Amino acid sequence: MNSRVKNEISKSDVNNLKTAEKLSGKAVEKMMDAIKSVQHGTVQVHIQDGRIIQIDKIDKIRLR
C-alpha cells in the first residue's frame, strides 16, 4: 500500500462526488485553494444537509 498522499485535487475529482451537484462553485474553489496551500497539515470540510458550511485549514510547521 502506498503511504504517499495525492498532492493535487482536480475538478474532475470533485465532480465524482455523489453530492457534487449541491456544491457551489465558490465553495469548491475555496476548498481546492485550502488543499493546495497546505504543505503539512489538515483541511477539514464540514458538511450539513449535503452542503459545505465550513472549511478549516490547519498548517503545521516542520522543524527539521
Question: Residue 2 has what DSSP assignment?
Answer: -
Give the integer Cα–Cα distance in Å for 38 and 30: 13
Predicted local distance difference test score (pLDDT) of residue 27: 85
pLDDT for residue 15 is more than 50: yes
pLDDT tens-place string over residues 16-44 = 554 555 567 788 888 889 999 998 999 99
Residue 35 lies in a domain: yes
38 lies in a domain? yes
**What's the pTM?**
0.57
Does the residue 4 lie in any domain?
Answer: no
Contact of 35 with 45, CB cutoff 8 Å: no
What residue numbers bound the domain in which 34 lies? 11-59
Please tell me the total count of domains within the chain: 1
Task: Name beta bridge partners: 64.
Answer: none
Tell me, what's the pLDDT at 3? 41
Per the domain annotation, does 55 fall within a domain? yes
